[in-house]
Structure 1
């Protein structure tokens, strides 16, 4: 009984980490992470486009 009290939490943690690793591998192989940064790239391109069109305006009369 004492062995389970000592080894039990480590076994549970090991099984949980193996489960998380399996879910991650399944996600990678199924393509769940493909195109994950497309939204960030679209945002970046829009920001660069806005920066190009926003030219500083010279004050009138100077």
Structure 2
């Protein structure tokens, strides 16, 4: 399966007891830290992946 997004990267989350594992597009990069950011639909804002304990790793995606 191929994934396409603007940054060319995906964030992989393992999940927890209360949330399922998921794959999320890297929406942008934090200019100060270089950490991947994604849009949190519950908060309606960009958040760094490091805010989530179930963040596993980044994977390359095809870039559009």
Give the TM bin, normalised by the shorter chain.
under 0.3
More strand by share: 2
More helix by share: 1
> Normalising by structure 2, what TM-score?
0.14
Q: Which one scores higher on RCO, CA 8 angstroms, separation ≥ 6?
A: 2
Give the greater-gyration-radius structure (CA).
Answer: 1
> Normalising by structure 1, what TM-score?
0.14
